[in-house]
């Protein structure tokens, strides 16, 4: 079996790394496979693997901005096009969701209102009824979110799968097996709490009440299940 390739696109905050590991560790744990073949590739410094070497791929979150058009990110966008062309299962998380959208002709920019942060509810759309990744999940469930950029315009062939009042493109699919999710299925309550603390100035500038955000934090089992579901599709 070819490995699942996790494309690491940045690091989380040091306090989280010390206690819980980095983005790629969260994703690896979430996949839940016994003796999984997982290949970690740092997009900033490592060569990206040939599609023939990839069984499935997950693009992680990042503190970078897609709109900065960094050289390594542009290379990742080109790589993403090849993965989708070869119909290799692909999942983009937050930053990764935005990378896929931009690579395939969508538009990414700062959300016109503010950042979105905390544990929030999303709504699945009728398009999920036959979607291989989302089929059978409840129509509404909680997710962890921390982002300031969004997919403002979807690629031409993308199908919207989930939304909420703040963000109309919480999840989408391109083709039969490439997905983007704006939320973080790999994150837990500790991660969301840390992001609120580390981004406290931004949270207050957006007129959020930090204590209210802390009170709303809860675990998100349906969201977390998406990683195992993705692994089962490979």
How confident is the model at residue 46, as a pLDDT?
97
Query: Among this protein's residues, is 184 annotated catalytic?
Result: yes
The CATH number of residue 9's host domain is 3.40.50.880
For the chain, how long is the longest CA-to-CA vector?
A: 49
The pLDDT mean for the chain works out to 96
Which residue in the list 24, 73, 94, 116 is annotated as catalytic? 94
Question: Number of structural domains, the chain?
Answer: 1
**Per-residue pLDDT averaged across 2-21, rounded?**
95
Which residue range(s) make up the domain with 219? 4-232
**Per-residue pLDDT averaged across 110-138, rounded?**
96
Closest CA relative to residue 178, chosen from 77, 97, 72: 97
| Cα distances (Å, whole numbers) of residue 29 to 3, 46, 47, 135, 231 | 15, 22, 24, 22, 12
Q: Check if the beta carbon of residue 133 is closer than 8 Å to that of residue 89.
A: no
Compute the CA torsion angle 49, 41, 8, 111 (nearest 10 deg): -20
Closest CA relative to residue 76, chosen from 107, 49, 37, 39: 49
First to last CA, the chain: 9
Query: Among this protein's residues, is 94 annotated catalytic?
Result: yes
Query: Can you tell me whether residue 9 is helix, strand or coil?
Result: coil
Closest CA relative to residue 96, chosen from 13, 16, 175, 24: 24
How confident is the model at residue 144, as a pLDDT?
98
Q: How confident is the model at residue 34 (pLDDT cuts 50, 70, 90)?
A: low
Dump pLDDT digits (tens) for 55-86. Answer: 999 999 999 999 999 999 999 999 999 999 99
How confident is the model at residue 1, as a pLDDT?
78
DSSP H or E run through 101: helix 95-103
Closest CA relative to residue 120, chosen from 218, 228, 30: 218
How confident is the model at residue 32, as a pLDDT?
85
How confident is the model at residue 86, as a pLDDT?
97
Evaluate if residue 115 carries a pLDDT over 70: yes
Evaluate if residue 36 carries a pLDDT over 80: no
How confident is the model at residue 33, as a pLDDT?
66
Dump pLDDT digits (tens) for 139-171. Answer: 999 999 999 999 999 999 999 999 999 999 999
Q: What is the distance between the alpha carbons of residues 181 and 152, in angstroms, rounded to a whole number? A: 14
How confident is the model at residue 201, as a pLDDT?
94
Closest CA relative to residue 178, chosen from 153, 196, 192, 161: 161
Query: Among this protein's residues, is 128 annotated catalytic?
Result: no
């Amino acid at each position: 079996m070819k490995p699942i390739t996790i494309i690491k696109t940045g690091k989380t905050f040091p306090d989280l790394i010390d206690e819980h590991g980095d983005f790629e560790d969260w994703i690896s744990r979430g996949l839940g496979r016994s003796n999984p073949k997982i290949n970690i590739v740092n997009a900033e410094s490592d060569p990206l693997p040939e599609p023939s070497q990839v069984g499935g791929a997950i693009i992680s979150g990042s503190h970078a901005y897609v709109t900065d058009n960094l050289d390594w990110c542009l290379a990742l966008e080109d790589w993403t096009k090849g993965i989708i062309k070869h119909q290799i299962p692909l999942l983009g998380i937050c930053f990764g969701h935005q990378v896929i959208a931009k690579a395939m002709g969508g538009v990414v920019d700062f959300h016109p209102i503010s950042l979105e942060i905390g544990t929030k509810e999303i709504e699945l759309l009728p398009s999920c009824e036959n979607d291989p990744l989302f089929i059978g999940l409840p129509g509404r469930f909680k997710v962890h979110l921390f982002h300031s950029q969004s997919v403002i315009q979807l690629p031409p062939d993308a199908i919207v799968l989930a939304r909420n009042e703040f963000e109309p493109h919480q999840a989408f699919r391109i083709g039969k097996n490439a997905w983007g999710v704006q939320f973080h299925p790999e994150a837990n309550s500790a991660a969301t709490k840390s992001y609120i603390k580390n981004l406290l100035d931004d949270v207050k500038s957006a007129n959020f009440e930090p204590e209210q955000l802390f009170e709303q934090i809860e675990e998100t089992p349906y969201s977390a299940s998406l990683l195992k579901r993705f692994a089962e599709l490979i």
